[in-house]
């Protein structure tokens, strides 16, 4: 697995040690995000002690994803699956920013939209977006219509936002569009908005995508993202007691 050009070899760990340190739940050689924020954790070394520390941070039945270039050490009480390849991509610092791909109105989302955001993302990547994931950064969405006379908001059709921030880099994540609304340029428009935000803030944009998601990788490449390499991640679950 090519890792020589990676910006970050262990994004969850580096995020929890820098921009998202306020989320960090720690015990010894392990650290994780709160369960309701995002299902990522890290160990400081690949050892039985570190994995036991990780187990102590997990609730029974809780699942997290851990980056490791070696197969994780097995300990009692944990189930380990994988590895699964993840592609890391960045927006080149010198690249010109794209123009908006559509005139769709992009709305800023907040905690008030969290349940809808979880419902939407469950279509593409169930379990990854949680009720508090929106606290990790800025999220934008596209809705089908306007608020009606009864004050009801129209359906959330598409969204995208920020997840793991590391120093001056911000991860673009949570990109999802309802199947019936694909092909209208919403994905490109949402990414473009975030790219412009990041450039204005003096931040760099990067993202992660499953190594076998050829459709998404092709979209990001067409837009101008550059591949930085791949890393393996493992699914770790604390067994029910």
Q: Where are the alpha helices (DSSP H) in the chain?
A: 11-17, 48-57, 114-121, 186-201, 214-223
CA distance 198 to 99: 15
Please give the Cα distance from 87 to 210 (Å, whole number). 6
One digit per residue, pLDDT tens: the chain, 241 residues? 566 799 999 999 999 999 999 999 999 999 999 999 999 999 999 999 999 999 999 999 999 999 999 999 999 999 999 999 999 999 999 999 998 777 788 999 999 999 999 999 998 889 999 999 999 999 999 998 755 445 567 899 999 999 999 999 999 999 999 999 999 999 999 999 999 999 999 999 999 999 999 999 999 999 999 999 999 999 999 998 7
Does the predicted model carry a pTM greater than 0.85? yes
3-state SS assignment for residue 215: helix
């Amino acid at each position: 697995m090519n890792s020589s050009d990676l910006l970050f070899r262990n994004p969850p760990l580096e995020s929890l040690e820098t921009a998202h340190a306020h989320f960090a739940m720690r015990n010894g050689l392990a650290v994780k995000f709160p369960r309701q924020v995002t299902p990522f954790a890290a160990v400081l070394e690949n050892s039985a002690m570190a994995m036991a520390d990780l187990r102590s941070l997990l609730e029974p039945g809780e699942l997290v994803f851990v980056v490791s270039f070696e197969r994780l050490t097995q300990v009692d009480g944990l189930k380990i699956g994988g590895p699964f390849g993840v592609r890391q991509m960045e927006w080149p610092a010198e690249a010109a920013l794209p123009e908006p791909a559509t005139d769709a109105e992009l709305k800023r989302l907040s905690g008030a939209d969290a349940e809808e955001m979880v419902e939407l993302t469950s279509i593409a990547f169930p379990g990854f977006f949680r009720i508090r994931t929106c606290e990790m950064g800025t999220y934008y969405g596209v809705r089908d219509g306007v608020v009606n006379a009864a004050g009801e908001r129209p359906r959330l059709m598409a969204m995208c936002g920020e997840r793991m921030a590391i120093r001056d880099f911000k991860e673009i994540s949570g990109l999802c569009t309802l199947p019936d609304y694909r092909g209208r340029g919403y994905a490109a428009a949402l990414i473009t908005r975030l790219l412009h935000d990041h450039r204005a803030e003096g931040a760099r944009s990067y993202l992660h995508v499953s190594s076998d998601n050829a459709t998404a990788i092709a979209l990001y490449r067409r837009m101008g993202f550059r591949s930085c390499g791949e890393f393996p991640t493992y699914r770790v679950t604390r067994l029910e007691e």
